[in-house]
Amino acid sequence: MESLSKALRISLIQMKIGKNKLENITHACNSIRKTVEKDKPKVVALPECFNSPYGTKYFNEYAENIPDGDTSKALANIAKELNVFLIGGTIPERDNSDNKLYNTCTIWSPSGDLIAKYRKMHLFDIDVKGGIRFKESETLSAGNKLAFLELDGFKIGIGICYDIRFEELARIYRNNGCDMLLYPAAFNMTTGPLHWELLQRARANDLQLFVATVSPARDVSSEYVAWGHSMVVDPWAKIVRSAQDGEETIVADLDTTLVQKVREQIPVSKQRRLELYDTISKFDKQN
């Protein structure tokens, strides 16, 4: 790292999640306060579905409006209290305008304002023989908009869990100038050992940017057992920090100049044969 002025410190909170929503919210806020007071990060991120058990039968019960629900208010208050940018993991969101439920990540400024929200775009509908069956689409609807956090010229794009498997979405974020992709995510005990690290390093290598994931801590007594191992990967596809499977906060100092250095040394983005192939974004037409 050349200088602290070119560093961005980020904390990823890997926490256990129970069935009591208030306790989950309180635990998250206490964990945010602890890492901010100790580690002084500029950005803090929470895991997927941090205020609710992860399961289709829970989403309707735990869903809240954004930004008027209790969870949003707590995140806004803690971000303002601690003067930190907060990527608020995800919560089940109830949209009263269309009476639908979404798996939604919120982003809060140090003044407690909602900067953006991202609704999970690719729903986790899988059926692995002998492994796991899960159908988010039984209760959730899919989002259709990108979300960004920009910090002094360093741009972070947001995805959620299953979204990481879709290279086209990641490339569209890259084409929109992103230096990092961050995914609150809850891979399970089937897909975690197979693909968790692989996918992060693949996205980082292909697009030459930082990739971070924030998982719930593993709880073998829960109905859905998360893999854990929250992680930060650099643009060389090297692992910068990795958690184990229990409760843990990992802190990483990101050299914000590294993205450009890697892209200059191996200029694949300039060498793509765009006259033969391209990734076409339709977001502008939708939005």
**From 29, 49, 105, 161, active-site residue:** 161
Helix (H) or strand (E) holding 133: strand 133-135
- What is the pLDDT at residue 285? 55
For residue 15, give every residue at least 6 positions away whose Cβ sits within 8 Å of its Cβ, in sequence order, or none: 27, 28, 31, 46, 47, 50, 216, 217, 247
178 has catalytic annotation: no
pTM of this prediction?
0.95
Q: What is the pLDDT of residues 3-30, one digit of tens each?
A: 434 899 999 999 999 999 999 999 999 9
Over range 128-151, report the average pLDDT.
91
Q: What is the pLDDT of residue 1?
A: 35
pLDDT tens, residue by residue, 154-177: 999 999 999 999 999 999 999 999
The single residue of 21, 42, 117, 120 carrying the catalytic annotation is: 120
Inter-residue contact 46 to 89 (CB < 8 Å):
yes
| C-beta of residue 14 within 8 angstroms of C-beta of residue 249 | yes
Average pLDDT, the chain: 95
Active-site position among 42, 48, 64, 136: 48
Known catalytic residue: 161?
yes
239-276 residue pLDDT tens:
999 999 999 999 999 999 999 999 999 999 999 999 99
What per-residue confidence (pLDDT) applies to 55? 92
pLDDT value for 129: 80
For residue 9, what pLDDT is reported? 98
Residue pLDDT, tens place only, 185-202: 999 999 999 999 999 999
CATH class, range 4-286? alpha beta
Q: Where are the domains of the chain?
A: 4-286
100 is catalytic: no
Q: Which residues contact 168 (CB under 8 A, 6 or more apart)?
A: 279
